[in-house]
Structure formats: structure tokens, C-alpha cells
Amino acid sequence: MSEKKKQVSRRQFLNYTLTGVGGFMAAGMLAPMVRFAIDPVLQTRERGGFSAVVDVDELTNEPQRFDWQIDQVDAWYESKVTRSAWVYKKEDGTIMALSPICTHLGCVVSWQGNDDYPDQFYCPCHGGRYTKEGVNIPNTPPPAPLALYEQKEEEGTLFLGKAIPREGA
Amino acid sequence: MQMNRKDLEQFIEAKEYVDTLLIPLSPVSINGDEQGKKVVFQGELLQIFCNEIEKYYTGRIFLFPPYYYLVNGSYQNEVERLNKWVGAAKEHPFEHVFFLTFDHFWKKQEKNIDGHLLWFPTMTSGDLHSKENQSLIKEQIEQIKQLITSYW
């Protein structure tokens, strides 16, 4: 009665088995390799508290303002917060990334914010002023220089981290 | 500065530097009709405006919590209540008091209000996160900022 049933030959059986098992093994080897290959694409622009801000090529000797967003998580909220920095290249090529928050009472300063003081950061609230290096100018309200952002450069992109306050001048 | 403990402590310490009070006038409605949705949308927008302005001028502007009122309530009482409300805040000598609103009702009551009323027409619906609207809002905020600084 089994005469009519199609028989699987030994050769066929081995072929099927080997293809199946081999296929699994190949997939097991390839999957991590594919993941490695596309990893840079999947990587977020934010790691270790650093965010990609701007291509280094775009920087000039004039401070420019750049904004970026970070995810801020505190006890009650998770929110997107916009950070800003005034960034420029010094003569010797090092990059300065200054926080725009006035050290007096926390307003937002701007480069050349007042026509009377070109080449200075100016705070619109109480007339606080800072040099191009972000150092507060004596006899204006701010008690300390503008904070400096932690920075690192990777593959031509500037990453900025936390703003580190500096001691008063 | 905003109405929270940290800012309040800073405010008491640096009172002589904070001479501007900003109060959002925000109608509320819980009706789901078109008018109600419009009112709520504008309330959201108003908060964005105020927060942005406060962020820029933290050290000089005290942002009061919004003055909420029912959209179909009697407006007559609101003027009186508002003045009382602001009176309490004005015990600290704020030199400039600004009210920000999108509700044209206040425009007609301007002379009865103790402070500068900033009313202007704006969007009544739409996506607050779209690129176009964001740049429009930013532009409007920029202009209000200039207006406020011109009083200083």
C-alpha cells in the first residue's frame, strides 16, 4: 500500500537537512554583521550627554548662534529642551562654545547685541557685557564669565555637552 | 522668573533688577464646539509666547501665572477681579506691567486696566509643531520682545 507514496531518497533527505541547517548557521553569522554595518545609521545623535551641534567647517571667527534639542528627564517630566550656544573658532583654531545664559540673572545674551559695543556679548536685561572670550566686563552686573560647553570633535562634527561655569574675573 | 520657589527666592534677593511683570490673560472653555476649541488652542499658544519671552528676559521679567476666566462668563466682573489680582502683585514696585492676550474683549477694556495691554490677533487653529507655524510664532515673539524692551 505504500508503493504509491513518494519515497524520499537518502540523498534528497541529506540535501534538505544540510540546506536547512546551513541556512540557519549562515543567518546566525550574517545577522550581527549586518547590524554592525548599519550601526552608524541607527546611532542617535546624542551620546554620553553630548549632542551633535554643527559641522566644524561652518564655524568662523565670528560667534554664531546654534540651537539644538536634548531630552531632559527630571523627576516629573521628560521634555525636549532647546539649548543654545555661541560658537566660533579662535585665531589658533580652537573652538569656543559659550553658553548664552547671562551669569547675572539668567537672561539670554547675544553677540553684538548692542550697537554701542561691537565685539562684545550684550545682555538686554541689565546691560551686562562680556568680551569675545565670554569674560564679564568689570562694572557691568554679571559676576562671572559665560559658561563654556564641554566639547568634542568627531568626524568633522562638533559635539557639545554640559555647560561648565567659570570662576569670576 | 516664574512662580516657583527657586525663582521666588532669587526674586526676593534681586528685586531691584526685576521691574517687569508679565501676566497672560487666558480664557478657558470646556465646550467642544468650535469656539471652545479656538479658545483652548489660543490658551496653549499664549503659554508658549509667555514662556519664550520669560526665557529670554528671565532676569528682568516676572511671569505671573495666567489669569484664567470663563469665556462665557460675565466680563464686567473680570476687570474688577483682575485689578485686584494684579494689585497684590504690585505691592512689589514693578515699574512695568504687561498683559498679554489674544482675546479682543480686553482691548475695549484697556483703559480700565492697570498696565499695558498687549493684544494682537493670531492663529486660531493649526499645528503648533509645523515648521511654518513655528517660524511665524518665533517672528511674533521676536516683535513682542522688541516692544517690551522699548519700554525699558
Domain ranges of chain A: 1-43, 46-164
Residue bearing cell 548557521? A25
Rounded-to-integer distance, Cα B24 and Cα B46, Å? 7
Interface of A with B in 74-113 (CB under 8 A): 102, 104-108
**Pairing, β B61-63 against β A129-130:** unpaired
Question: What does the pLDDT read at residue B115?
Answer: 86
Question: pLDDT tens digits for A114-145?
Answer: 888 888 899 988 888 888 888 888 888 888 88
Which CATH architecture fits A46-164?
Answer: 3-layer Sandwich (2.102)
Residue bearing cell 466680563? B75
Instruction: Mark the ranges of chain B whose per-residue pLDDT is less than 70.
Output: 73
Delineate the domains of chain B, giving CATH numbers in brackets.
Answer: 5-151 (3.40.50)
Question: pLDDT tens digits for A4-21?
Answer: 567 888 999 999 999 999
- Cell numbers given for B34: 468650535
Rounded-to-integer distance, Cα B68 and Cα B70, Å? 7
Contact residues for A121 (Cβ-Cβ < 8 A; gap 6+): A63, A86, A98, A100, A109, A110, A111, A113, A129, A130, A131, A132, A134, A146
| Residue B10 contacts A, CB cutoff 8 Å | yes
- Measured between CA atoms, the residue of chain A closest to residue B11 is A105
Please give the ipTM for the structure prediction.
0.77
| Cβ–Cβ gap B59/A108 under 8 Å | no
